[in-house]
Amino acid sequence: MLRRLQFIALRFLIAFFVISIVWVILLRFLPVWVTPYMLSRKMEAFRADEDTELFHDWEPYENISKEAALAVVASEDQNFPNHWGFDFDQIYNAVTEKRKRARGASTISQQVAKNVFLWHGRSFIRKGLEAYFTILIELIWDKERILEVYLNVAEMGKMTFGVEAASLRYYDKSAKKLSRYESARIAAVLPNPVRFSIKNPSAYVNKRTNQIVRQMRYLGGQKYIADL
């Protein structure tokens, strides 16, 4: 019986590795039209008897303002062009800093792995799978693809996924035409896009927007992400 269970477990592991690798390879080239997180947000809205419409419009990287790409890097993961999926300095700082609320240290790569391949939640199994998929996309995708997917699947407003949908909904223009300040405003709500608003920004969002604009200048502008 033990030998049989071991054989079943081995077959399961092999199948998981093969399927996950093929899945990551396919999404290296195909648009990501829907993610587990989008579906979970839709279910949450349904249970709360709220509007379940999702706003999502995939656009390739070349059709997105590089100011928007730079804004999310400046806001979320300034070491994105250089790390291999994990920013260990930020992880160390997050663990050792004494703050009332723990700050996140997830890279853009980790957020893509979580949003595209996994469910949201807190467990050691999910964190382990997040690390696994982060390594896979760093090995199989290039940095530009990772950033392209992030810009298309991150929630950037309530039930609004991706910078194109956010730009059309809140600025009435394509993401290709976003200015630096508009891009920074979108990036400013990323910590909590349900609570914070692009259209009606709070004092915090305005302050955060100005901080991101300064960081974009400090990084050297669009040339910082030119060679991804």
The whole-angstrom separation of Cα 194 and Cα 125 is 26
Span 41-80, pLDDT tens digits: 999 999 999 999 999 999 999 999 999 999 999 999 999 9
pTM of the model: 0.91
- The predicted pLDDT at position 2 comes to 79
The helix/strand/coil state of 161 is: strand
Alpha-carbon separation of residue 83 from 89, 117, 120, 158, 161 (angstroms): 10, 21, 24, 30, 25
The whole-angstrom separation of Cα 96 and Cα 92 is 6
Q: Which residue has the tokens 């199994």?
A: 125
Instruction: Extract the tokens encoding 129.
Output: 């799978």
- The predicted pLDDT at position 6 comes to 84
- The predicted pLDDT at position 157 comes to 93
Span 122-176, pLDDT tens digits: 788 889 999 999 999 999 999 999 999 999 999 999 999 999 999 999 999 999 9
The better pLDDT of the pair 88, 218 is held by 218
Backbone angles phi, psi at 64, to 5 degrees: -115, 135
Span 78-130, pLDDT tens digits: 999 999 988 887 776 766 665 554 445 789 999 999 999 998 777 888 899 99
Instruction: Extract the tokens encoding 77.
Output: 């993961």
Instruction: Extract the tokens encoding 47.
Output: 């249970």
Could you tell me which residues come within 8 angstroms of residue 6 by beta carbon, excluding any fewer than 6 positions away? none
